[in-house]
Amino acid sequence: MDGIKIEIRDLVDIDSLSKEYDISKNELISFHNRNCALHELLPERLPKYINSIYIPKEKYKKWKEKQLPVSRIDVPEASEMLTYGVLITQQSQELNIYYLIDIQRFDDRKVSIFRQKLQVNNNEVDLMVEKIMETAGKALYPIHMSLNKKGKPDRIENAEDIQTRWNEIYRPRIQQYYVGETAEGLITTYDYFYENIENGVGSLQRNVFYPIFFIPLYDSYPDYQKEERLNFYFPSFGEMIYYDTVFSLQRTFSDSGRIVIQVKGDQCYDEISLDEDKGKIELDYQLDKESRNVFSVTGTLSTFYDNQEIKIYIEIYRQEAYL
Protein backbone atom coordinates (compact mmCIF):
# COMPACT_ATOMS: atom_id res chain seq x y z
CA MET A 1 0.00 0.00 0.00
CA ASP A 2 1.38 3.39 -1.02
CA GLY A 3 -0.34 5.28 1.79
CA ILE A 4 -0.08 6.44 5.39
CA LYS A 5 -2.68 5.87 8.06
CA ILE A 6 -3.18 8.99 10.18
CA GLU A 7 -5.21 9.45 13.32
CA ILE A 8 -8.09 11.90 13.49
CA ARG A 9 -8.13 13.39 16.96
CA ASP A 10 -11.18 15.60 16.53
CA LEU A 11 -14.18 15.42 14.26
CA VAL A 12 -13.00 17.11 11.08
CA ASP A 13 -15.04 17.45 7.92
CA ILE A 14 -13.71 15.89 4.75
CA ASP A 15 -13.35 19.27 3.05
CA SER A 16 -10.90 20.45 5.72
CA LEU A 17 -8.85 17.27 5.40
CA SER A 18 -8.66 17.52 1.62
CA LYS A 19 -7.51 21.13 1.87
CA GLU A 20 -4.90 20.38 4.54
CA TYR A 21 -3.32 17.56 2.54
CA ASP A 22 -3.80 19.21 -0.86
CA ILE A 23 -5.89 16.42 -2.33
CA SER A 24 -9.36 16.61 -3.81
CA LYS A 25 -12.29 15.41 -1.74
CA ASN A 26 -13.20 12.63 -4.16
CA GLU A 27 -9.59 11.48 -4.51
CA LEU A 28 -9.19 11.35 -0.74
CA ILE A 29 -12.34 9.28 -0.23
CA SER A 30 -11.44 6.98 -3.09
CA PHE A 31 -7.87 6.41 -1.86
CA HIS A 32 -9.00 5.74 1.68
CA ASN A 33 -11.70 3.28 0.62
CA ARG A 34 -9.25 1.34 -1.58
CA ASN A 35 -6.87 0.81 1.34
CA CYS A 36 -9.04 0.55 4.46
CA ALA A 37 -10.85 -2.36 6.08
CA LEU A 38 -14.52 -2.92 5.31
CA HIS A 39 -15.70 -1.33 8.55
CA GLU A 40 -13.59 1.77 7.79
CA LEU A 41 -15.25 2.65 4.48
CA LEU A 42 -15.79 6.36 4.21
CA PRO A 43 -18.91 8.11 2.91
CA GLU A 44 -18.81 11.74 1.82
CA ARG A 45 -19.08 12.92 5.41
CA LEU A 46 -16.91 11.61 8.20
CA PRO A 47 -18.99 9.37 10.47
CA LYS A 48 -18.29 9.36 14.19
CA TYR A 49 -16.82 5.87 14.17
CA ILE A 50 -13.99 6.83 11.78
CA ASN A 51 -10.93 7.73 13.86
CA SER A 52 -8.28 7.36 11.15
CA ILE A 53 -7.87 7.90 7.44
CA TYR A 54 -5.45 6.77 4.72
CA ILE A 55 -3.45 9.43 2.85
CA PRO A 56 -1.18 8.94 -0.18
CA LYS A 57 2.46 8.83 0.96
CA GLU A 58 3.50 11.61 -1.39
CA LYS A 59 0.77 13.93 -0.07
CA TYR A 60 1.66 13.08 3.50
CA LYS A 61 5.36 13.71 2.82
CA LYS A 62 4.66 17.16 1.39
CA TRP A 63 2.38 17.95 4.34
CA LYS A 64 5.04 16.81 6.80
CA GLU A 65 7.69 19.02 5.21
CA LYS A 66 5.54 22.08 5.98
CA GLN A 67 5.12 21.29 9.69
CA LEU A 68 7.17 23.01 12.35
CA PRO A 69 9.14 20.29 14.17
CA VAL A 70 8.71 21.92 17.61
CA SER A 71 6.77 24.84 19.09
CA ARG A 72 9.91 26.73 20.06
CA ILE A 73 11.98 29.30 18.18
CA ASP A 74 15.58 29.85 19.31
CA VAL A 75 17.67 32.98 18.84
CA PRO A 76 19.78 32.83 15.63
CA GLU A 77 23.26 31.55 16.40
CA ALA A 78 25.21 32.00 13.17
CA SER A 79 27.09 35.18 12.31
CA GLU A 80 25.47 36.98 9.38
CA MET A 81 25.21 40.44 7.84
CA LEU A 82 21.64 41.46 7.05
CA THR A 83 20.24 44.57 5.37
CA TYR A 84 16.64 45.74 5.81
CA GLY A 85 14.51 48.43 4.26
CA VAL A 86 12.45 50.18 6.95
CA LEU A 87 9.31 52.21 6.23
CA ILE A 88 7.48 53.86 9.13
CA THR A 89 4.30 55.80 8.42
CA GLN A 90 2.67 58.00 11.05
CA GLN A 91 -0.87 58.49 9.82
CA SER A 92 -1.83 61.48 11.96
CA GLN A 93 1.18 63.50 10.78
CA GLU A 94 1.14 62.21 7.19
CA LEU A 95 4.79 61.36 7.71
CA ASN A 96 6.73 58.63 5.91
CA ILE A 97 10.21 57.78 7.13
CA TYR A 98 12.34 55.37 5.10
CA TYR A 99 15.89 54.14 5.59
CA LEU A 100 18.14 51.13 5.11
CA ILE A 101 19.68 49.51 8.14
CA ASP A 102 22.52 46.99 8.38
CA ILE A 103 22.42 44.42 11.17
CA GLN A 104 25.50 42.29 11.80
CA ARG A 105 24.67 39.25 13.93
CA PHE A 106 27.36 37.44 15.90
CA ASP A 107 27.29 33.95 17.38
CA ASP A 108 27.20 35.13 21.02
CA ARG A 109 23.82 36.92 20.82
CA LYS A 110 25.43 40.24 19.97
CA VAL A 111 24.47 42.57 17.16
CA SER A 112 25.99 45.63 15.52
CA ILE A 113 23.64 48.09 13.82
CA PHE A 114 24.34 50.83 11.29
CA ARG A 115 21.66 53.04 9.73
CA GLN A 116 21.97 54.40 6.21
CA LYS A 117 20.77 57.86 5.18
CA LEU A 118 17.07 58.35 5.76
CA GLN A 119 14.34 59.86 3.60
CA VAL A 120 11.25 61.76 4.76
CA ASN A 121 8.13 61.63 2.56
CA ASN A 122 10.18 60.07 -0.26
CA ASN A 123 12.71 62.91 -0.29
CA GLU A 124 16.06 63.51 1.30
CA VAL A 125 15.72 65.62 4.42
CA ASP A 126 15.80 69.34 3.65
CA LEU A 127 14.11 71.17 6.52
CA MET A 128 16.33 72.49 9.29
CA VAL A 129 14.75 70.38 12.04
CA GLU A 130 14.97 67.23 9.91
CA LYS A 131 18.62 67.90 9.08
CA ILE A 132 19.50 68.45 12.73
CA MET A 133 17.71 65.25 13.73
CA GLU A 134 19.43 63.26 11.00
CA THR A 135 22.86 64.60 11.95
CA ALA A 136 22.25 64.01 15.66
CA GLY A 137 21.00 60.48 14.95
CA LYS A 138 24.24 59.56 13.20
CA ALA A 139 26.07 59.64 16.52
CA LEU A 140 24.17 56.51 17.57
CA TYR A 141 25.68 54.36 14.81
CA PRO A 142 27.20 51.91 14.83
CA ILE A 143 25.53 50.66 17.97
CA HIS A 144 26.62 47.37 19.50
CA MET A 145 24.11 45.48 21.64
CA SER A 146 23.82 42.16 23.41
CA LEU A 147 20.48 40.32 23.28
CA ASN A 148 18.74 38.14 25.83
CA LYS A 149 17.43 34.64 25.11
CA LYS A 150 14.18 36.02 23.70
CA GLY A 151 15.98 38.28 21.24
CA LYS A 152 15.35 41.57 23.08
CA PRO A 153 18.18 44.09 23.58
CA ASP A 154 19.82 43.53 26.93
CA ARG A 155 22.74 45.95 26.99
CA ILE A 156 24.38 48.65 24.88
CA GLU A 157 28.01 47.59 24.60
CA ASN A 158 29.55 50.79 23.20
CA ALA A 159 27.75 53.53 25.10
CA GLU A 160 30.98 55.47 25.74
CA ASP A 161 31.89 55.46 22.03
CA ILE A 162 28.43 56.78 21.17
CA GLN A 163 28.76 59.57 23.72
CA THR A 164 32.18 60.48 22.34
CA ARG A 165 30.85 60.67 18.78
CA TRP A 166 28.06 62.97 19.92
CA ASN A 167 30.22 65.28 22.02
CA GLU A 168 33.25 65.48 19.73
CA ILE A 169 31.82 65.15 16.21
CA TYR A 170 28.10 65.63 15.73
CA ARG A 171 27.21 68.14 18.44
CA PRO A 172 29.93 70.58 17.27
CA ARG A 173 28.86 70.02 13.66
CA ILE A 174 25.27 71.02 14.45
CA GLN A 175 26.39 74.07 16.44
CA GLN A 176 28.61 75.16 13.56
CA TYR A 177 25.78 75.30 11.02
CA TYR A 178 22.61 75.95 13.04
CA VAL A 179 21.80 78.67 15.57
CA GLY A 180 18.65 79.81 17.34
CA GLU A 181 16.18 78.56 19.93
CA THR A 182 14.99 75.61 17.84
CA ALA A 183 18.50 74.31 17.30
CA GLU A 184 19.42 74.80 20.96
CA GLY A 185 16.27 73.02 22.06
CA LEU A 186 17.05 70.01 19.89
CA ILE A 187 20.66 69.94 21.07
CA THR A 188 19.45 69.93 24.67
CA THR A 189 17.14 67.00 23.90
CA TYR A 190 19.95 64.99 22.31
CA ASP A 191 22.34 65.94 25.12
CA TYR A 192 19.97 64.28 27.56
CA PHE A 193 19.53 61.24 25.31
CA TYR A 194 23.25 60.60 24.84
CA GLU A 195 24.14 61.38 28.45
CA ASN A 196 21.74 58.66 29.58
CA ILE A 197 22.37 56.06 26.90
CA GLU A 198 24.73 54.13 29.15
CA ASN A 199 21.84 53.58 31.60
CA GLY A 200 20.28 50.91 29.39
CA VAL A 201 18.52 49.94 26.20
CA GLY A 202 15.32 51.65 27.36
CA SER A 203 16.68 54.80 25.74
CA LEU A 204 16.06 53.19 22.34
CA GLN A 205 12.37 52.65 23.02
CA ARG A 206 11.36 55.94 21.40
CA ASN A 207 12.55 54.72 18.02
CA VAL A 208 9.74 52.33 17.10
CA PHE A 209 12.08 50.22 14.94
CA TYR A 210 13.88 48.73 17.94
CA PRO A 211 10.94 47.44 20.01
CA ILE A 212 9.29 46.08 16.84
CA PHE A 213 12.31 44.41 15.24
CA PHE A 214 13.70 43.12 18.54
CA ILE A 215 10.34 41.94 19.88
CA PRO A 216 10.58 38.78 22.08
CA LEU A 217 9.92 36.28 19.26
CA TYR A 218 12.43 33.68 20.38
CA ASP A 219 10.72 31.63 23.02
CA SER A 220 8.63 28.54 23.76
CA TYR A 221 5.05 28.61 22.48
CA PRO A 222 2.90 26.26 24.59
CA ASP A 223 0.11 25.08 22.29
CA TYR A 224 1.72 27.39 19.70
CA GLN A 225 0.84 30.57 21.62
CA LYS A 226 2.22 32.81 24.33
CA GLU A 227 1.19 36.08 25.97
CA GLU A 228 3.31 39.21 26.43
CA ARG A 229 2.74 42.79 27.55
CA LEU A 230 4.41 45.20 25.12
CA ASN A 231 4.86 48.95 25.06
CA PHE A 232 5.53 51.40 22.22
CA TYR A 233 6.16 55.12 22.12
CA PHE A 234 3.87 57.35 20.04
CA PRO A 235 5.85 60.48 19.08
CA SER A 236 2.82 62.42 17.86
CA PHE A 237 1.67 62.97 21.45
CA GLY A 238 4.69 61.82 23.43
CA GLU A 239 3.31 58.90 25.43
CA MET A 240 4.06 55.21 25.89
CA ILE A 241 1.16 52.88 25.04
CA TYR A 242 0.90 49.38 26.51
CA TYR A 243 -0.72 46.34 24.88
CA ASP A 244 -1.69 42.89 26.14
CA THR A 245 -0.76 40.66 23.22
CA VAL A 246 -0.94 37.07 22.04
CA PHE A 247 1.92 35.67 19.94
CA SER A 248 0.62 32.93 17.63
CA LEU A 249 3.20 30.63 16.05
CA GLN A 250 1.77 29.08 12.89
CA ARG A 251 2.03 25.28 12.89
CA THR A 252 3.05 25.17 9.23
CA PHE A 253 5.63 27.03 7.18
CA SER A 254 4.38 29.65 4.74
CA ASP A 255 4.12 28.89 1.01
CA SER A 256 7.58 30.44 0.67
CA GLY A 257 8.93 28.14 3.39
CA ARG A 258 9.18 30.64 6.25
CA ILE A 259 8.19 30.59 9.91
CA VAL A 260 5.17 32.81 10.57
CA ILE A 261 4.37 34.49 13.90
CA GLN A 262 1.37 36.79 14.34
CA VAL A 263 1.24 39.28 17.20
CA LYS A 264 -2.20 40.66 18.04
CA GLY A 265 -3.62 42.43 21.05
CA ASP A 266 -5.48 45.32 22.58
CA GLN A 267 -4.32 48.41 24.40
CA CYS A 268 -4.24 47.90 28.15
CA TYR A 269 -7.13 49.43 30.07
CA ASP A 270 -6.28 52.76 31.64
CA GLU A 271 -8.71 54.01 34.28
CA ILE A 272 -7.66 57.63 33.82
CA SER A 273 -8.04 57.57 30.03
CA LEU A 274 -10.71 59.92 28.66
CA ASP A 275 -10.95 57.92 25.42
CA GLU A 276 -13.47 55.11 25.35
CA ASP A 277 -11.91 53.39 22.33
CA LYS A 278 -8.71 51.43 22.75
CA GLY A 279 -5.94 50.85 20.28
CA LYS A 280 -4.78 47.57 18.79
CA ILE A 281 -1.58 45.92 17.69
CA GLU A 282 -1.39 43.67 14.63
CA LEU A 283 2.02 42.55 13.41
CA ASP A 284 3.02 39.71 11.10
CA TYR A 285 6.55 38.30 11.28
CA GLN A 286 8.22 35.96 8.83
CA LEU A 287 11.48 34.25 9.81
CA ASP A 288 13.88 32.24 7.70
CA LYS A 289 13.31 28.53 8.19
CA GLU A 290 16.96 27.60 8.74
CA SER A 291 18.63 30.69 10.24
CA ARG A 292 15.52 31.97 12.10
CA ASN A 293 16.49 35.54 11.20
CA VAL A 294 13.69 38.01 10.60
CA PHE A 295 12.80 38.19 6.91
CA SER A 296 9.92 40.66 7.12
CA VAL A 297 7.64 42.53 9.52
CA THR A 298 4.39 44.23 8.54
CA GLY A 299 1.55 45.64 10.58
CA THR A 300 0.12 48.50 12.59
CA LEU A 301 0.01 50.00 16.06
CA SER A 302 -2.94 52.16 17.02
CA THR A 303 -4.31 54.13 19.93
CA PHE A 304 -6.76 56.96 20.55
CA TYR A 305 -5.85 60.45 21.64
CA ASP A 306 -8.49 63.17 22.14
CA ASN A 307 -10.99 60.75 20.56
CA GLN A 308 -8.91 60.56 17.39
CA GLU A 309 -7.36 57.31 16.19
CA ILE A 310 -3.57 57.48 15.85
CA LYS A 311 -1.89 54.80 13.72
CA ILE A 312 1.68 53.82 13.01
CA TYR A 313 2.29 51.54 10.02
CA ILE A 314 5.50 49.55 9.86
CA GLU A 315 7.11 47.64 6.99
CA ILE A 316 10.50 45.94 7.33
CA TYR A 317 11.82 43.78 4.49
CA ARG A 318 15.11 42.01 3.95
CA GLN A 319 17.11 43.53 1.12
CA GLU A 320 19.35 41.27 -0.93
CA ALA A 321 21.46 44.24 -1.99
CA TYR A 322 21.41 48.02 -1.92
CA LEU A 323 19.30 49.57 -4.66
C-alpha span between 260 and 257 (Å, rounded): 9
Give me the CATH number covering residue 187. Answer: 2.30.230
For the residues 194-203, what does the mean pLDDT come to?
88
Pair 173, 293 in one domain: yes
Domain count, the chain: 2
Residues 302 and 261 occupy one common structural domain: yes
Is the pLDDT reported for residue 155 higher than 80?
yes
Q: End of a domain among 65, 89, 111?
A: 65
Query: Can you give the pLDDT at residue 263?
Result: 98
Write the DSSP symbol of residue 166.
I
Residues 60 and 95 in one domain: no
- For residue 72, tell me if it sits in a domain: no
Residue range 64-119, pLDDT digits in tens:
888 898 899 999 988 999 999 999 998 766 788 899 999 999 988 999 999 988 88
Residues 234/208, Cβ–Cβ less than 8 Å: no
Contacts (Cβ under 8 Å, ≥6 apart) of 157? 110, 144, 145, 146
On the question of pLDDT at 273 being above 70, the answer is no
Residues 29 and 97 in one domain: no
25, 107: one domain: no
In a domain, 225, yes or no: yes
Residue 300 in domain: yes
Q: What angle do CA 159, 162, 168 make, to 5 degrees?
A: 135
Average pLDDT, rounded, for the chain = 88
Statement to judge: residues 161 and 253 lie in one domain: yes
Q: Are residues 84 and 18 in the same domain?
A: no
Model pLDDT, residue 236: 82
Of 65, 97, 112, the last residue of a domain is 65
**Residue 205 sits in the same domain as residue 290:** yes
3-state DSSP call for residue 294?
A: strand
What pTM does this model have? 0.85
DSSP letters for 75-102:
PP-S-EEEEEEEEEEEGGGTEEEEEEEE
Task: Domain of residue 116: give its range.
Answer: 80-319
Q: How far is CA 23 from CA 14, 16, 34, in A?
A: 11, 10, 15
Percentage, residues of the chain above pLDDT 70: 92
Give domain status of residue 74, yes or no.
Answer: no
Model pLDDT, residue 104: 96
Confidence check: pLDDT of 323 > 60: no
In this structure, the answer to whether residues 168 and 50 fall within a common structural domain is no
Alpha-carbon distance values, 208 to 77, 109, 114 (Å): 25, 21, 16
* 138 plus 261 within the same structural domain: yes
* Residue 71 within a domain: no
- The reply to whether 95 and 162 lie within a common domain is yes
70 assigned to some structural domain: no
In a domain, 124, yes or no: yes
Amino acid at 242: Y
In a domain, 75, yes or no: no
150, 89: one domain: yes
- Alpha-carbon distance of 57 to 61, in angstroms, equals 6
